[in-house]
A and B are shown apart, each in its own frame.
Chain A
Amino acid sequence: MFAGAAREAVFSNPSVIRRVNADFVPVALKAFLVINAPPNDEEGRLYREISRSAVAPQGICVVNSAGKVLAWTAIFDDDKSVLDFLDDASKRFAEYPDAEKPFAAERYMKYPSQKMEDVEDNGRILPVPEQHAAGTHCPGNPPMRKGTVLARILGRALDKDGKPVADTLRQEHYVEDRFHVPVAMQEALAKALKGAGSDRFRLADDLARLLVSHAFLGQLDVNPVSSMAGKGDLKQGEFWARKVVGADDKTVRVRIEGKSEAVGGSNDGPGGDQSVDGRIWQHEVKLTWEGIVDMKKDRATRLLLVARGSEKLQWGNKRIDLTGEADVTRLPLGHAIDLECDVRYGIIGEPVSAEEAGTAEEIALSGPARAQQVPEEARRQLSQMLGGQFMVFRDKVQDELKLSNDQQQKLTEQFGPYRQATMQLFEKIRDLKPEEREKELQEHRRKSDEKLSADVHVPSQ
């Protein structure tokens, strides 16, 4: 929720856009690169320096040209505070443009009313490499296996005349998303196609589920197929395929038709979402699909799909009125949604380009691969220490929740900050008396639990 809300409430504000474009160099970084799994090289040391003063797993930060943090914040008091934060950071940059003079990182949980303790300069001047280490891709754009299909999906809410709703800011009205169709799924499709000859055949469930699980409006939290933040169910996902004709001598064209119905919502009862941060949501998506897949041997070379249907989405909060103050004051909770309309989706997929593909070695060195290397034992220990909803990091629980690969990867990316903070806490309380240690631990559990609900896509996203 945080990223989507920040995009809508902070970085779509015309005044903020003008200011950022005029006076800053905007860089968007995935949190797991900065905090969880930075590469083990000079560039990685820059990420670690930035994360040293982070206030939360996600946030907005200003650094100078040496990569030293001038200020961090997670949320803002109001819309004007965003511009004030940028003003303050600009002034600090004028004073500390590089690593010549030492300075502390200023930190806010909420700017400017909730200031946190500064983090002092450690005196280390880190080299800023001109390029990424030899044989590696940019950590911000990890490589994919050659042949992977990159699918881009567009979704629109329609008005009563069947035209797309004009608003393109809110994700419940307009959504763009991307997902990958792995090589293994393409090979399975090629095999099924070969076996069927000219007869029609049913698409594999995992491919059907992959397609349907991206066709919905709203933020990540409200995935009606397999939400990590509640219940999700693919009530119907029936796709049929038939070889029609080749686009050319080497291409086999497959016509696809299908119907899907996905229904999701927040959990009820103790331990459900409502007891965590108060969110309540319901989502139903019914779609009829048609399209084509072009195949060359055992690889898909083009995917074109259109889905038409209807959608109902409600998002609210039992504890807080989401229609009151400015959105920037409650980024982790989002805004109220009450949507019921016809919808349309389109998917265009093509194999990743040569630049986006990597060798097995490059993929093994990439951020996602490093993040995946968090051992199950470490996840078991953390879930035992922090309890409750941290069980979601366990393999078995993720399997039971039927989380997609994407969702599992996102969770893995979010694991690091909790492990790091918990290890730091144990270091800190090592010499305390047992009762003081327990008190600190309880407080850490409570804060971690709140953070997991707010920042992470777990039983809430």
Chain B
Amino acid sequence: MRNLIVVACSVLFASLAWAEPLRIAEKQPATPDALKAEIEALKSSKVAWREIAWKSCLLDGLKESRAKNKPALLWVFIDRPIDDARC
């Protein structure tokens, strides 16, 4: 009888698993605060390519060029690599 119950339970659970291919995990879900903390911990505070404060506005750049008597260095690129984008 005990074996029969085990088999029956196995079949039952197997059929449930089949009906729901991806089950919500049994563990306690992370809270929004915990998720946010985990995500923010991934961010590096010091990244070499952020050491240059690129402007994204040509007019601002030319205005500063005049004011500081410095040439403007234009990095013309297809993507958006200056702050937080993959390129």
Contacts and interface: CB of A to CB of B under 8 A. Distances in A.
B35 to A, nearest CB: 4
Contacts of B51: 12, 17, 21
B54 interface: yes
Nearest to A129: B59
A324 interface: no
B73 interface: yes
A47 B74 CA distance: 11
A21 to B, nearest CB: 6
Interface stretch (A115-123, A149-157, A184-192, A429-437): A149-157
A25 B32 contact: no
A457 B42 contact: no
B76 A26 contact: no
A458 to B, nearest CB: 11
A17 B43 CA distance: 21
Interface residues on A, range: 35 or more
Contacts of A344: 42
Contact of A455 (B38, B70, B74, B78): B78
B61 to A, nearest CB: 4
Given A169-B49, A175-B86, A290-B29, A27 B74 contact: yes
A2 interface: yes
B74 A63 contact: yes
Looking at chain B's contact residues, is the secondary structure mostly helix, strand, loop, or mixed?
loop
B30 interface: yes
Interface in B69-87: 69-87
Contacts of B10: none
Max chain B C-beta neighbours (<10 A), residue from A27, A177, A200: A27
Nearest to A414: B78
A168 B85 contact: no
Given A26-B75, A58-B78, A346-B39, A169 B47 contact: yes
B87 A259 contact: no
A291 B24 CA distance: 12
Contacts of B60: 27
A306 B39 contact: yes
A8 B46 CA distance: 14
Nearest to B64: A25
A8 B24 CA distance: 40
Contacts of A155: 42
Interface string A56-69: 01111111111100
B32 to A, nearest CB: 6
A306 B30 contact: yes
Interface string A334-361: 0000000000111110000000000000
25 contacts: A2-B77, A3-B77, A3-B78, A6-B75, A12-B51, A25-B71, A26-B52, A26-B55, A28-B54, A28-B77, A34-B76, A57-B78, A59-B76, A70-B71, A130-B63, A138-B59, A154-B42, A156-B42, A171-B87, A174-B47, A178-B84, A259-B22, A290-B30, A304-B36, A346-B39
